Amino acid sequence: MSYPTLGKLSLSLCLLTLLSLFSCSAKSTDSDHTTTAIDSIEWDAKWVLPELNGTPNMGVAGAYAGFVGNTMIVAGGANFPDALPWNGGTKTWWPTIYTLDTSNASSGWQISDIQLPGKWGYGASIQLPQGILCIGGCSPDKVLNDVFLITEKNGILTIDTGYPSLPQPLTNHTAALAGSIVYVSGGFADTTQKNAKGAFYKLNLNDIGGGWQELPTWPGEARGYAVSAAQSNGEEICYYMFGGRDTKTDQPTTIYTDGYVYIPSLNRWNRIEGSFPLMAGNAVAIGNHSILMLGGVPALLPANDDHPGFDNTIRIFDTSKSTMQALAASPYPIAVTTTAFIKNDTIYIGSGEVRPGVRTPIVLRGFLK
């Protein structure tokens, strides 16, 4: 099986100053500060997850992902290895942790001897200096409130479970890191993925013993599959949340395209004008006042072999002006229900879902130029 390897996407962003912030699928952190002028992204699709049990890897959706030092991690998640869901396929969950030493990428992807505590996925990933903070998620039959750190001790990958649990189980929620504060919003509390929660919590990493603190919810509908990032509004670092969806009991699924910003100094949310068709997509904070938005699901189409795939549009939101600009599409499929993050001016999208039920083994890279 072969995959395309390189493409170039012009963004027409003249001399945009970039202060790179680690981020994850609508979840962002504020480390690895570099400054670069960019006007394009060069895309690379040649990193492919390794064979599993002697067969080509089909990829996973809902994986925890990020970096532990120079080692890239893609952990857990689920796929349909026997058949697509409309053909009777069974969703299979994995505890597998894939690793790649990016300082010696030619050595290739490895499958770690260490596994997740269970067959888990669809949680939130926050990049910390010491590793990847994994928040909530679910297994085939349970939604989790577990919080753990994938880290390294004495050169060995380790799972550190010494973090306070979420106040309630959540899956398909979104999260971001603003300074030392982790914010978590939305999601579902049971495996039916109906009746989303308006949950909004914070954890001060400088006071882990204080646990998670409940904050006021946003002035809109509860939702899962939202997209978020932490970015400055010109005065302070705020928490931005866009889109999402919910399925209320005995009602069809509703996709939301509204956006909100939480202002910590005021302990208050404001609604953002505009439409944000980003459900289940990705966002990374860049520069001093921009959020780069990657893909999403703007509409629910029938899940079958004729599905065209999800949106490849790239957008940029200016937090100082509260305006969004649609840019050129990616030359490669942008996965949803995945984790996106930045390191050294490179965007990584860790596997994910490119059509309903269809995963990709590609870890897409976008080099900011």
Model confidence pLDDT, tens digit, residues 235-264: 999 999 999 999 998 899 999 999 999 999
pLDDT band for 265, please (50, 70, 90 cuts): very high
**Residues 6+ positions from 289 with CB-CB distance below 8 Å:** 231, 232, 233, 234, 318, 319, 320
> β-strand 346-350 against 237-247: which pairing, if any?
unpaired
- Nearest one of 214, 218, 224, 315 to 260, comparing CA atoms: 218
Contact 134, 148 (CB under 8 A): yes
In angstroms, how far is the first alpha carbon of the chain from the final one? Answer: 30
Quick one: pLDDT at residue 39?
Answer: 63
When the pLDDT of each residue in the chain is averaged and rounded to a whole number, the result is 90
Quick one: pLDDT at residue 111?
Answer: 97
- Nearest one of 182, 194, 84 to 134, comparing CA atoms: 182
Question: pLDDT digits over 154-170, tens only?
Answer: 989 999 999 999 999 99
pLDDT band for 18, please (50, 70, 90 cuts): very low
Q: Which domains does the chain have, with CATH numbers?
A: 6-368 (2.120.10.80)
3-class secondary structure, 50: coil
Question: pLDDT digits over 270-304, tens only?
Answer: 999 999 999 999 999 999 999 999 999 999 999 99
Q: Give the Cα separation of 268 and 51 in Å (integer).
A: 48
Task: Using the structure block, give the residue that is written with the tokens 């260490």.
Answer: 114
